[in-house]
Amino acid sequence: MVSSVSFRTPAMAAQFPDLLAAESTRHGGVSPAPFASLNLGLNTADNPAHVEINRTRFFQSFGIAPDRVASSHQVHGDEVLIATGPGRYSGYDALVTNERDLYLTVTVADCTPILLFDPVQKAVGAVHAGWRGTAADIALKTLRTMQEAFGTRPADCLAYIGTCIDECSFEVGPEVAEAFTEEHRRFDAAKNRFYVDLKAANRAQLIAGGLPEARIEVSPFSTVLHNAEYFSYRLEGGQTGRMLALIGLRSIPVP
């Protein structure tokens, strides 16, 4: 029996019939342990044939073709690609587009996926924000790229900050903690370690960029605390799968 692909959809996707936005879980694929089971990452040690099956299943569950997907080999930087067509790019950790039937994706397994939607100019963005990207303001830079490229007004936008490692699990050393403001880091004297809140830091960037607080949805899930549902690179010692966050605008037939 074929398992059903498991994913969650942000609330904003229900408000707009032409918007497709989703975040995969780890269930419904064919990959064996330690990648069990819906590993969608192209750069893991998993059997590429398994990943291809998983990705085909995931995209087909939304009725979209894999050759309409744009992604990038992520490098934990802050470069944003204005995508005009599908393909596998390299060196970008965020993608934006105003092309219909072009679906942007980022892969994560503790880092923060962020999906952006401008319902006025009909533009979307997908962001991979690890601690380096977050410290480099990649969410804010992506929003600004949408402003410059598409005339996006941040006040019109909606955002989804997806499932990642939560503050209570993201233990870091001082060299990482120093990249964040005191508002988004906490020192535990008993453990002599810092903890960083990636969700809050990225949320603050979007608000600073003009996106209304009430229009930002934040996933209540954690890759570590809810590891039965999501992959966690840190908890699983680096040998694990990847989730995928996807966003795009479908074509709507003109009456």
Residues facing residue 223 across a β-bridge: none
Query: What's the pLDDT score for residue 255?
Result: 42
User: Helix 198-208 crosses helix 138-150 at what angle (to 10 degrees)?
Assistant: 30
- The 10s digit of each residue's pLDDT in 14-44 is 999 999 999 999 999 999 999 999 999 999 9
CATH code of 166's domain: 3.60.140.10
Instruction: Return the structure tokens found at 120.
Output: 């006025």
In a domain, 86, yes or no: yes
Question: Which whole-number Å values give the CA distances from 58 to 8, 16, 52, 163, in the listed order?
Answer: 12, 21, 10, 18
In a domain, 53, yes or no: yes
Q: Which amino acid is at 127?
A: V
In a domain, 16, yes or no: yes
Q: Domain of residue 43: give its range.
A: 7-249
Contacts of 125 (CB under 8 A, 6+ apart): 80, 94, 95, 96, 97, 104, 114, 115, 116, 117, 142, 143, 145, 146, 247
In a domain, 192, yes or no: yes
In a domain, 197, yes or no: yes
CB of 23 closer than 8 Å to CB of 243: yes
In a domain, 254, yes or no: no
Total number of domains constituting the chain: 1
In a domain, 91, yes or no: yes
- The 10s digit of each residue's pLDDT in 210-230 is 999 999 999 999 999 999 999
Residue 53 backbone dihedrals phi, psi, to 5 degrees: -60, -45
In a domain, 255, yes or no: no
Global model pTM greater than 0.85: yes
Residues of the chain with pLDDT under 50: 1-2, 253-255
